[in-house]
Structure 1
């Protein structure tokens, strides 16, 4: 991959309705929120913002509508330096209901969007025609991976949201880079790092326990940064966006994952799904870790 290659995020855009509650409600129970906010979100859009903040040439290639909420959503991405010219505006801006409890944990109910295989193929064609780069698909689009195979296009999949073991296994075999949470990989999907393809670099994230990488050049692992968690919403998106930005800049996968792990940890110290830190904050935290190791 040529350093400085674009990273195009083909995935969810959401309007997040975020309720901050002391604890998650039980069935038939009412819990009063301490705050309710409407914030921009969505896996693909959040990861694009994280990549842009990490210095990547990031583009968002999701599907939204032609209405005012979609205008505002894209304007917020533009303000972050994300190229929104790849976005299809023939659909609608979906909504996600997010509850964040007193310990910073989240629970999400999301609405499906209008992003299908035909759009994925068009984005892949455009990226290949522009000289190639990294194409990200979220876990809801993992089944559409074959539609994205093009010369010069590096395929990256975030399996968060994927619930089909067969689809996940195919993505692990065919994608260049895969990121997935350990609970989803081993618990929900019943898979392991041994299920990756021979050319696939797999990064398994595990919250406060850090991350594990398995790839063609071997295995590695890294810790998370110890932090006081305020809100872990979007931490996984921050990891993926920062990791892909590192790869696009020419970093080896382990170095990219190391920076991504620290960035994701720092994002948990702030509220909201787009709390990715600036590169100098990540570098300072890495320096501090090195001094205390």
Structure 2
């Protein structure tokens, strides 16, 4: 679909796949596990406090790499030991971290996880700006093209990322500007966003979602936590799938896992609906383990779906 904006689709490397570059947040997550979220002026004792690697784009890169994709992470961190650890953990998952700039700092997110596995997040702004997004898009195009995925905090920079051979994707969770969101839906080939954010915070009514997808030739995937997801195809196709029933331990990063697994499926040759089925299963399974990097292996996804490993279409 990238040909409609940039002149041609993502070019395939030997073996049939292209690189997926994730450009966005890299975080140190300070995670407090609490029996319940505190009320104003109340102190709640944590059962555990952990320091874990996180960040929307980095979590998605980890999930895509675990799904078998050729992945690069193009964030902005520092030159300190915490950044060293962050990049080493991402590289251990299979992501190429050589696209990451080490010119600033590793931002921090404070994450509270309650006894039901729900999370509440306070995040710190990072140093990744529109100029960095443009440089990453230029590098990807020069390398032969591929997928470029931005997180919602970079939605406004999507307009400057269109390049020949680059297929654009955006996870709008994190975007709080309605105009930026609608512009991103008009420019990206694939958009993933949570239902509550799209309908309530961004004030884009559900009745308009299919028309947005077809009118702007964008595949729009709306996730809804335990309720599952709905795909609004650029061709008018509408697909809805419930989430897997799992015992939730921690839902932090589940949406990031969905995005990463979805793009890995597309890159493997799966049609969008089939890629979303696998992404939904992976996101559900990621909630059964603590932390934001709980993406399962393809074998676990296959087992959960009760089917053999997916075979890319010709």
Whether the TM-score (by the shorter chain) exceeds 0.5 is: yes
Q: Contact conserved, 2:171 with 2:192, CA < 8 A, in 1? A: yes
Whether 1:257 aligns to 2:276 is yes
Q: Contact conserved, 2:159 with 2:184, CA < 8 A, in 1? A: no
Q: Contact conserved, 1:262 with 1:285, CA < 8 A, in 2? A: yes
What is the aligned counterpart of 1:244 among 255, 263, 266?
Answer: 263
Q: Contact conserved, 2:185 with 2:216, CA < 8 A, in 1? A: no
State the partner residue of 1:108: 121
Instruction: Note the C-alpha offset of 1:234.
Output: 0.3
- SS at 2:306 equivalent: helix
What is the aligned counterpart of 1:207 among 225, 240, 253?
Answer: 225
Distance, in Å, in 2 between the alignment partners of 1:72 and 1:37 is: 15
- SS at 2:98 equivalent: coil
State TM-score, norm by structure 1.
0.97
Gaps in structure 1 of 5+ consecutive residues = 289-293
Q: Contact conserved, 1:62 with 1:88, CA < 8 A, in 2? A: yes
Cα deviation, 1:252-285, whole Å, max 9, x if unaligned, reads: 0000000000000000000000000000000111
State TM-score, norm by structure 2.
0.90
What is the aligned counterpart of 2:216 among 193, 198, 204?
Answer: 198
Distance, in Å, in 1 between the alignment partners of 2:159 and 2:182 is: 13
Instruction: Note the C-alpha offset of 1:215.
Output: 1.4
Cα deviation, 1:129-150, whole Å, max 9, x if unaligned, reads: 1111000000000000011110
Distance, in Å, in 1 between the alignment partners of 2:84 and 2:250 is: 27
- SS at 1:280 equivalent: helix
Whether 1:148 aligns to 2:161 is yes
What is the aligned counterpart of 1:85 among 93, 98, 101?
Answer: 98
State the partner residue of 2:46: 33
Distance, in Å, in 2 between the alignment partners of 1:269 and 1:77 is: 20
Distance, in Å, in 1 between the alignment partners of 2:253 and 2:259 is: 10
Mapping of residues 1-293 of structure 1, within 5 Å = 1=10, 2=12, 3-191=16-204, 192=206, 193=209, 194-196=211-213, 197-217=215-235, 218-287=237-306
Distance, in Å, in 1 between the alignment partners of 2:111 and 2:234 is: 37
- SS at 1:90 equivalent: coil
Distance, in Å, in 1 between the alignment partners of 2:200 and 2:244 is: 24
Distance, in Å, in 2 between the alignment partners of 1:44 and 1:173 is: 21
Instruction: Note the C-alpha offset of 1:222.
Output: 1.0
Instruction: Note the C-alpha offset of 1:195.
Output: 2.9
- SS at 2:222 equivalent: strand
Q: CA RMSD in A?
A: 1.1
Distance, in Å, in 1 between the alignment partners of 2:129 and 2:269 is: 30
Higher deviation after alignment, 197-206 or 54-63? 197-206
Structure 1 residue ranges, 4+ long, deviating more than 4 angstroms after superposition = none
Distance, in Å, in 2 between the alignment partners of 1:54 and 1:101 is: 28
State the partner residue of 1:291: none
Gaps in structure 2 of 5+ consecutive residues = 1-9, 308-314
Q: Contact conserved, 2:20 with 2:146, CA < 8 A, in 1? A: yes
